[in-house]
Chain A
C-alpha cells in the first residue's frame, strides 16, 4: 500500500511550508516587547535554533507518539485540543454523510430509471446546484430563514442533535450532487447489462429487477465514494464549522491561522490529512471486499 510513503510526504510538505516562514514564533507568543536576549533564550529552549531537518525529526517523532507539541496561544497540548474537537467533527461528518445519501441516492436512481425526462433533468440540475453552491452562503441563508424568520432551529453553537441539523444539511447537500450523479451514471450503465435483460426475460417485475439485480451492482462504486466522502467531510467541514460555531477540527485550523498558532495548525492539518488518507485506503479495502472481481496486491 502506498499509504505510508504518502503520509511521510504529507508530513514533510506541511512541516516545510510552516517552518520556512520568516515570522518569529516567539514574537507571536509574547505580545509585549521583550529584549532580544530573552527571545534568543526562549528560542534555544524550544529548540527553534536547530537545523530544519533536526526539527522535522523531532516533530515527526512526537507526532508518531501522538504529541504535536504545545499550542502557542492556548498553551495546551495540541493533541488534546484535537481530541476534544474530533468527536464534534465526526458527528457533523456522519450526519452530513447521511443527508447526502438520503438525498443523493434516491435522486440518482430516479434519474437513471427515467433518463432524459423532466424528472432526470430536474434532479441533475438540482445536483449541479449543490456542487455550485458556496456552503457559507447556503449556511447563512438557512440561519436567516430557519433560525431567525421561522425560529425552528437554533442559530449556532453545539449542544445537541438539534444544533446539528442545519450544518449537516448545508454540508451534505453539496455532496448529494456528486452522489446523485454517480449513482445515476452507474445505474444507467448496469441497466444495459445482459443479466438485466435476462432478469426481465424471466418475467420479473421491474421493481424486482431494479432493486435486486441492478442496484446491488450499481451502488458498488457509490459505496466507495461514500467512504472517501466521510473522510473529506471530516476535513472539509472548515466552513460549516466556522459559520455554525461548532468547535471541531476545521474551526481549530481556522483559529490557528487567525492567531498564527503554528503547532496547532501543523497538528490539525496533519491529523485531518491523515484521516483522508486512511479513508481512501479503507475505501479501497471496502471496494475489494464488496466486489469479488477486484483484488489488489499480488
Chain B
C-alpha cells in the first residue's frame, strides 16, 4: 500500500523520510474537508464523554415516573425515556461506552492481529499455514453471529463485549498485516538487517512492523465504527450491555416499544450512533486517501 519504494534508503535518511511521510499525510488529511469534519465531531464527542458529569444537567440513572416520555423541552432538551430519565444525560454517558467499546477492542484486535500477521508472514512455513487457517476459520463466521455465540458463552455484559469483539476482529488485521509483510520481507532493508546479524525478533519488531503502521492506522479508524455498531447491535438484541447501563444500542432497544408514541426516544440515541460511526468512517477514508495519494485521481 503506502510508500513501498522508500525501503532501500539508509536508516538515518529513512527516518527523515518517515517523519516526512507522516507530516505530508497530516497536511493532506487537513485538506480533506469531510475528514476534518469527522475529526472535529470525534473530538467533540470525546470531550463530552470525558467531562460527562460536568456537562449533563441530570443524573442518567435517576428514575422519575411522573416525567415519563416527556417531549423535548427546556428542562429536558432531548426529552425523557419510559422511566422519566433525562435522554440527553443518558446519551452523554452512553458516549463513554460507545467510545470505549470502539477503541479498546480495535486496539486489542489489531495488536493481536499484527503479532500474528508479522509472525506468520515473516516466518512462513508451517507456522504461517496454521495461523492463517485459524484466521480463515474466524473470518468464515458472520461476525455478528460469532459475537453472539461468544456472548452466549461468556454471558451478557459490557466487559464480555470487549472480549467478543477483540476475538472477532483480530483475524482480518492478521491478514492485512501478513500480506504486507510478504512483500516487505523481500525488500533490501530486511536483507541488509539480516546480513548485519540482526535477530529475527528484532527484524520483525523494528524493521517490518513499523512499515505496516500506515495501513494499521487506517484499519484502526475503520474498525472503531464497525465495533461501535456491533456493540449497539448486540445490546439492541439483548446480549450486550444490560440495563440500566446507558449504552446507545440499549437505549434504542428500550425505546422501540414507544416509537409510535414517543419517536424521539429511538431517534436521538440511534442518531448518536450514526453520527459517531459516520465521523470515524470519514476520518478513516481521509487517512487512507492521505496515506495513498494515488488512490484518488
- Residues of A whose CB lies within 8 Å of any CB of B are 2, 5-7, 9-10, 13-14, 17-18, 20-21, 115-116, 121, 125, 128-129, 131-137, 140-141, 143-144, 148, 185, 188, 192, 232, 235-236, 238-239, 242-243, 253-254, 257-258, 260, 265, 269, 272-273, 276-277, 280
Question: In this complex, what residue of B is CB-closest to A148?
Answer: B260
Q: Count contacts on B: residues with CB < 8 A to the other chain.
A: 48
A273 near B141: Cβ-Cβ < 8 Å? yes
- Contact partner of B297 (CB less than 8 A), chosen from A18, A125, A135, A188, is A188
CB proximity of B204 to chain A, nearest CB, Å: 26
Count contacts between A and B, CB distance < 8 Å: 143
Which residues of the other chain, B, contact A7 by a CB distance below 8 angstroms? Answer: 140
A sample of 11 inter-chain contacts (CB < 8 A) reads A6-B136, A115-B297, A128-B282, A136-B253, A144-B263, A232-B142, A235-B142, A239-B233, A239-B236, A254-B148, A276-B142
Which residues of the other chain, B, contact A129 by a CB distance below 8 angstroms? Answer: 274, 278
CA distance A240 to B66 in the complex (A): 34
Bitwise interface map of B from 130 to 143 toward A, beta carbon under 8 Å scored 1, else 0: 00011011101110
Which residues of the other chain, A, contact B46 by a CB distance below 8 angstroms? Answer: none
CA distance A192 to B297 in the complex (A): 10
Given contacts A141-B266, A236-B142, is CB(A17)–CB(B274) below 8 Å? no
Given contacts A21-B153, A134-B273, A140-B256, is CB(A5)–CB(B133) below 8 Å? yes
- Contact partner of B152 (CB less than 8 A), chosen from A143, A257, A280, is A257
- The interface residues of chain B, by DSSP majority, are classed as helix
Is B259 engaged at the interface, CB distance under 8 Å to the other chain? yes
B140 near A128: Cβ-Cβ < 8 Å? no
A253 near B236: Cβ-Cβ < 8 Å? no
Which residues of the other chain, A, contact B267 by a CB distance below 8 angstroms? Answer: 141
In the complex, the 7 A-B pairs of residues with the closest C-beta atoms, listed nearest first: A137-B270, A9-B137, A235-B142, A132-B277, A132-B278, A134-B273, A136-B236
Bitwise interface map of B from 230 to 272 toward A, beta carbon under 8 Å scored 1, else 0: 0011001111000000000100110010011001001100110
Which residues of the other chain, A, contact B277 by a CB distance below 8 angstroms? Answer: 131-134
Given contacts A134-B233, A136-B236, A137-B252, is CB(A20)–CB(B273) below 8 Å? no
Which residues of the other chain, B, contact A5 by a CB distance below 8 angstroms? Answer: 133
Which residues of the other chain, B, contact A188 by a CB distance below 8 angstroms? Answer: 297
CA distance A192 to B149 in the complex (A): 46
CB proximity of A97 to chain B, nearest CB, Å: 15
Q: Of residues B152, B252, B263, B273, which shows the largest number of chain A Cβ atoms within 10 Å of its Cβ?
A: B152
Interface hits, B283-297 → A, CB 8 Å: 285, 295-297
Question: In this complex, what residue of B is CB-closest to A273?
Answer: B141
Which residues of the other chain, A, contact B271 by a CB distance below 8 angstroms? Answer: 137
Which residues of the other chain, A, contact B145 by a CB distance below 8 angstroms? Answer: 235-236, 238, 253, 269, 272-273
- Contact partner of A134 (CB less than 8 A), chosen from B252, B259, B297, is B252
CA distance A144 to B258 in the complex (A): 11
CA distance A13 to B146 in the complex (A): 10
In addition to A116-B297, A137-B252, A253-B148, 17 A-B residue pairs with Cβ atoms within 8 Å of each other are A9-B137, A10-B137, A125-B34, A128-B285, A132-B229, A134-B233, A136-B270, A140-B256, A144-B266, A185-B295, A232-B142, A239-B144, A239-B233, A257-B238, A260-B152, A265-B152, A273-B141
Question: In this complex, what residue of A is CB-closest to B255?
Answer: A140
A276 near B141: Cβ-Cβ < 8 Å? yes
